[in-house]
Structure 1
Amino acid sequence: MEEDSPGGREEGRTFWGGLRAFLFGDDGEASLRDEIEEALESREGEAPRVGDLSAAERQMLRNILHFGEKTAGDVAVPRGDIIAVPATIGFDDLVATLKEAEHSRLPVYEESLDRVVGMIHIKDVFLHQVSGKPAPADIRSLMRTPLFVPESMGMLDLLAQMRAGRVHLAIVVDEFGGTEGLITIEDVVEEIVGEIEDEHDEEPQGLLIPLEDGIWDADARAELEDVAEAVDERLGEVEEDVDTLGGLAFVLAGHIPQPGEMLAHPSGWRLEVTEGDARRVTRLRLHAPAEPAPVE
């Protein structure tokens, strides 16, 4: 077999060096992230061999690779879905709210949700109950301090702060200091491992379910861009800063609409609130615009 000439080897090195520079930049080196992603993509659709990464492990690895690209604002529970209590709430009502919400922590606010002053942990409420002490006149005595973070904070920094402060709940604030959303340590972990269902989670219903006669059953958490794609693009055209159907319902009503209310959209669609409470809308029915009468 003939050996390559020095000139041929040099030409080959120049070609591959140029290709690496084109693909990976002038330094000619692929990052470890690039190499891992490329390896995952090359095995896409393949059944894992014995001892190889499972499909779930591969997905978690992909999530980890992009975890640092997300911000607190990307992951936070939207403001409209936050369950919080006023600082003036009585102890018995607080217990009832914790039972109904089935959350271990609730933000506490003064005047409005934009003034969160603390959080209540269900463990502190339970310990007070079993202590035999009288109900506190002011629930502030049971409050803990949550973490306040800007919506632009990266997830890696957020996770580091939550771990360092041993805090499991963060309030996400906008540039004006108003409450934008809420993040728990569970939300952070779910960005890596996927949705974590616990014993209190209800069997999930579909976000958008087509029914008969142009009617859709919809979860209020459905993203407007998904609604625009699946139902009607006009439902996604909103000037106000809202991202979900629940937010759209609030904008159309001018208040928190209650079950039974029918809200008119400029496109002719009607949004019927079917489930909700005093704090939020949870489910709606979307009624298609009436067919225009035929011109004779």
Structure 2
Amino acid sequence: MDEGSDSRFWSKMRSLFRSNGHDLEEQILDAQDGGSLKREDASMLLNVLDLNDTTASDIMVPRTDIICADADCSLRHIAKSIVDSGHSRIPIYEETRDRMLGVIHAKDLLSSLLQHDKEDTPVRNLLRDLLFVPEMTNVKYLLATMRSRRTHMAIVVDEYGGTAGLVTLEDVLEEIVGDIEDEYDVLRPDDIQVMENDILLVSGRSTLEELNERFQLDVTSEQVDTLGGYLSEIAGRIPTPGDFFTLGERRYTVKDADAKQIKTILVEPLAPQEEEQQG
């Protein structure tokens, strides 16, 4: 926004929050329809309202996808992990991911590596405190806590105190402003890539609900929530790369998987002759 539009935006916000009329969400939508608010501004405000209904577990990176390192690793090994991931900081654990010790910042690591007499510094000496929050922590509260603690990262713990996932300040802000991309961004676990000819490349963690809503796939299950889980349910095992399933008018081909989960799936429409054979 330029200075003038920024002033008008906040002026409108003050009037909305002073108002005692109908529901605030409706007021925001009315302001958008009336031209008082730009669409992107209205979208951000609605997202702010939704923060009350969003929890840390809704936006966290799952435990299995956390980029982290063991405290017994060398500084150079951890530096390589940071460079490869593109992150500016990663959590450090002791023995298992359920015992997170702290977070190491790239600049602290670099400072030690540049001083040859400190290359063997124990990783534990460079750690900063981590914020730990329960899975059901309200994201609005989480944002306020991260600001007050001046931290960019929080470990989400389950009811038993084990590590359930990780949330960054960027994850929280993306709930308000949408995706924040930088030069290091890669395909995330929940990404869906739309390709030519109605072909999709999706993560195994993509939810059936989102896929059905966006692409009318008509794939449902009472047992699982994700596409990877659904294909595993059908197969009765974890499918291997190259396995495919014909469901309705589409073929689902497993592109990447390990012993525990399906990572990526290619979803493509059947050719006309294949549809006839299906019929």
Q: Which residue of 2 aligns with 1:273?
A: 255
The unaligned stretches of length 5 or more in structure 2 are 1-17
- 1:283 counterpart SS class: strand
Structure 1 length-normalised TM = 0.68
Paired residues of 1:150 and 1:175 also in contact (CA < 8 A): yes
Find the counterpart in structure 2 of residue 199 from structure 1: 183
Taking only aligned residues, the RMSD between alpha carbons, in angstroms, comes to: 4.0
The normalised TM-score by structure 2 is 0.71
Query: Structure 1 pair 168/32, CA: closer, same or farther in 2 (3 Å)?
Result: farther
* Residues 244 and 123 of structure 1, relative CA distance in 2, 3 Å threshold: farther
Task: State the shift of 1:98 in Å.
Answer: 0.5
Deviations 1:236-267 (CA, angstroms, capped at 9, x unpaired): 53746xx5446668887978x9xx73457797
| Pairing partner for 2:28 from 35, 40, 57 | 40
- Contact kept in structure 1, 2:194 and 2:200, CA below 8 Å: yes
Q: 2 CA distance for matches of 1:244 and 1:195?
A: 21
Change (3 A) 1:186 1:163: same
Query: 1:136 maps to what in 2?
Result: 120
Compare CA radii of gyration and give the structure with the larger one. 1
Flag the 1:187–1:54 CA change in 2: closer, same or farther, 3 A.
Answer: same
Among 56, 62, 74, the alignment partner of 2:58 is 74
Query: Residue type of the partner of 1:182?
Result: L
Alignment of 1:81-92 (within 5 A): 81-92=65-76
Give the percent of matched residue pairs that are identical in Structure 1 and Structure 2. Answer: 34
Paired position in structure 1 for 2:37: 53
In the alignment, which residue of structure 2 is the partner of 1:149?
133
Please identify runs of 4+ aligned residues in structure 1 that moved more than 6 A: 203-206, 247-255, 264-269, 276-281, 287-295
Whether the 8 Å CA contact 1:108–1:117 is kept in 2: the answer is: yes
Q: Map Cα deviations across residues 150-185 of structure 1 (whole Å, 9 max, x no partner).
A: 011112221222122222100011111122211111
Structure 1 residue 277, shift from structure 2 partner: 9.1
Compute the displacement of 1:215 (Å).
Answer: 6.7
Q: Which structure has greater helix proportion?
A: 2
Which among 212, 215, 221 is matched to residue 237 of structure 1? 221
Which whole-Å deviations, capped at 9, do the CAs of 1:83-119 have from their partners, x for residues lacking one?
Answer: 1212222222111111010011112223332222222
1:43 Cα deviation after fit: 4.0
